[in-house]
Amino acid sequence: MTGTTDPTPAELAVLPETGTGTLRLDLVRRLTAEAVGSAFLLIAVVGSGIMATNLSTDTGLQLLENAIATGGALVGLILMFGAVSGAHFNPVVTLVDRGLGSISTRDTGLYIGAQVVGACIGTVLANVMFALPAIERSTHVRSSGPLWLSEVIATVGLLLVIQGCVRTGRADAVPFAVAAWITGAYWFTSSTSFANPSVTVARTLSDTFAGIAPSSAPMFIVMQLIGAAIAFALIRLLYPHPEPDRPQEPS
């Protein structure tokens, strides 16, 4: 980067979570990274939820185990794939980046497709790892105003954490900051912080601790998109690009 603050648009376009990777790889490789990363994320989310319920009957302990496993996986996955694809693993991350101009419209659509497909594959693999049906529609209804508000808050916070780190010269902190936010938001939001449309879709495929009923998923996704719109406005307000220096007019 050109300094400790104020990354240029070109730098934002390749940094983790705000761009498409410092390795500047071709689209196929980047989409593969998004799909594989999303799959591993869901393996962590769903698999740790299943393991937690197998190990304990205490709901609080189950949530703690699920949160720690998810946060740990996020650190590893963003470090693993940040330079390859930007390590978005989340359609709202990609959509906000599109709005801010650091990814193309074509790549945005393809990234989101890869994230959804990868996440669904990850859920299937997690189910199979624990000898459950590969696809089992969740019956875990999550539908209420407080849960929907929680998704807005969780999504806004996640996007501000990402953009706040990168736009103030702290891109190396993104893996740890994202993991810390998600781990904490498991506990301070009543929805346990999905904050990710592809994760929401994929979690309808597992009738386990981490599952969400298909009937509950659409409103979660709507709230996440609302959160993304709010975050976009706040990012533009709080982290504006500085105007390039202009030569002073002769007096």
**Tens of pLDDT along 139-166?**
999 999 999 999 999 999 999 999 999 9
**Tens of pLDDT along 162-207?**
999 999 999 999 999 999 999 999 999 999 999 999 999 999 999 9
How would residue 10 be classed by pLDDT, with cut points 50, 70 and 90?
confident
How would residue 15 be classed by pLDDT, with cut points 50, 70 and 90?
confident
**CATH topology (fold) of 9-237:** Glycerol uptake facilitator protein (1.20.1080)
Q: What is the pLDDT of residue 114?
A: 98
Q: So where are the chain's domains?
A: 9-237
**Tens of pLDDT along 99-111?**
999 999 999 999 9
Question: Exposed, middle or buried, 99 (CB in 10 Å: 0-12/13-18/19+)?
Answer: middle
> Which one-letter amino acid corresponds to residue 111?
Y
Calpha distance 226→115 (Å, rounded): 19
pTM: 0.92
